Structure 1
């Protein structure tokens, strides 16, 4: 699940709800090379783009290029903008296949692959789900079984028909929708990093509201340090990750949940049952791709600790940190 992150500058740290980036003092005061950071709203969320570049003019130009790349992706996959290819797919659900470009087709194909690998715990068709759960503190009783069943009537990745020969996407049922709120920002972070590496930028961070892609090092040669918040001890960290060419994503329930009869229900919904995920408070995954980190973290939140660990251990390039609803840490 992609998360809306708030930033606070404190003692040379950028503090996030789930993660924070820790910079050494030499990072802040270094004159050469220049380190430039810019915060901007893209894809409906806060992005922080940090580049290590030869001078401020070049850094600003390259940040502009990164923003253009992320905006390009948004204009392809946003389900909120009616002119995008994904919106056209949704508008023609149950009617006809829609031709999309190779990039959109391949992203959708990977998303359905994530659904298969997680046995449906991950599903981009959840955007068609009826919103019967409220996570603003106002919910005091469970929805009816009937309303829960109805809420997922149009959710099933197996009804996303992909034709690789014609590069088309067809949603079998009217009322179906697909969306990339789960992996779209991670994909954008990966593509921003890829673009900057092709431009010869040796180091930086694209932080897409907690879906983070890093490369290179700080100017002092140290890796980027990313702290993972402990939701039960807000002033402490569960772990600090030191990354050079890696990505990280966190899915969690402790900022947005419903508590009913003493049980905490996550805002992350199980696509197969219509019930919120329980058992895990947060899941952090780090490895090569921000997109895949988020696919794994979302899947594990739904699968729970036992099945989630079985899944992530199939991918040795990816590491995990799970925090259970009881505050236990698995890593």
Structure 2
């Protein structure tokens, strides 16, 4: 009588969380155990969504926004620390990443793929006049957060998915899942290996043909986040402008189709992808090259590929 060999398999679940498509994959030799572990990850992501959402009046994010220019709001330590880390990233990127981005005044002008002209510089600047991470007042002793100006708003759209992916990974690892991927709408974190022992192969989408990989990377215990402008853009006087708005000028950025950031933390990768787009190729790569354990792949409007130092991309 021969023993039955139990071969590990990748078990996946796709669901909508935080308004985005999440795919959670775990390597296991037991389907019911894999399913129960995925349940724990889903519960953690849902918990974070309730904390950070701007679609619920009683979320801590909305309490901070409602009290803007009026009073400080006490928050959980978790939210306080996430805001602290966000403000550090704002400082590193000189404001190209800014959680007060929600303060943009869309009544003055709003990006539309059918638009035929840009707003004048003054209108654009007025639209972003309340965006300023330096006006977020933090009190570590009392765990309070205050937005200095009335009308200011914070939001975690640029960092929340990555944070949730990191937390889901931590929960899965704590519960004995040695290999897996948490993919939060393209912001993903990996650990361990495929069932065959090889690293995970991650594709960077071709900006023009989304189902075709532009290039691939073999990674393990790493996260990758991509900020792409290939779906939402306007063509004005023959030049492409993306839906990504420079928080300092209020104008849409141009020249870059996609930025992929690779580093150990999905939160940091998520937060860095958009600011590199805003900063542009030369300045963005220069910043990435100065930061430890951070790598970057940029595809420009002419499909040219640029990479930071110490990265091996397979075309």
Is 1:312 matched up with 2:288?
yes
How many residue pairs match? The answer is 301
After alignment, is 66-75 or 229-238 more displaced?
Answer: 229-238
Aligned mate of 1:96, from 49, 53, 71: 71
Alignment of 1:1-331 (within 5 A): 32-131=7-106, 132-135=109-112, 137-232=113-208, 236-331=212-307
Q: Deviations over 1:307-331 (max 9, x none)?
A: 1011101123111111112221111
Q: Distance in 2 between matches of 1:108 and 1:259?
A: 35
Displacement after TM superposition at 1:234 (Å): 5.3
**Counterpart secondary structure, 1:313:** helix
Q: Distance in 2 between matches of 1:68 and 1:235?
A: 30
Cα distance in 2 for residues equivalent to 1:163 and 1:257: 40
TM-score (norm. length: structure 1):
0.88
Gaps of 5+ in 2: 308-315
Pairwise CA distance, 1:31: 6.0
* TM-score, normalised via structure 2 length: 0.92
How far residue 243 of structure 1 moved from its aligned partner, in angstroms, is 1.3
Q: Distance in 2 between matches of 1:229 and 1:90?
A: 36
Q: CA deviation at 1:235?
A: 6.4
- Deviation sequence 1:48-80 (CA, Å, 0-9, x none): 011112311111111111000001111111122
Q: Do the aligned partners of 2:262 and 2:296 also contact (CA within 8 Å) in 1?
A: yes
CA distance in 2, matches of 1:149, 1:295: 23
CA distance in 2, matches of 1:237, 1:72: 33
CA RMSD of the aligned region, Å?
Answer: 1.5
Superimposed CA distance per residue, residues 210-248 of structure 1 (whole angstroms, 9 cap, x where no aligned partner): 010111111111111111122246565332111111100
The answer on whether the counterparts of 2:137 and 2:147 sit within 8 Å (CA) in structure 1 is yes
Query: How far apart, CA to CA, are the structure 2 residues paired with 1:73 and 1:234?
Result: 29
CA contact (8 A) 1:212 1:290 kept: yes
Take 1:104 and 1:238, find their aligned partners in 2: how far apart are those partners?
36
Give the 3 Å change call, closer, same or farther, for CA 31–228 of structure 1 in structure 2.
Answer: farther
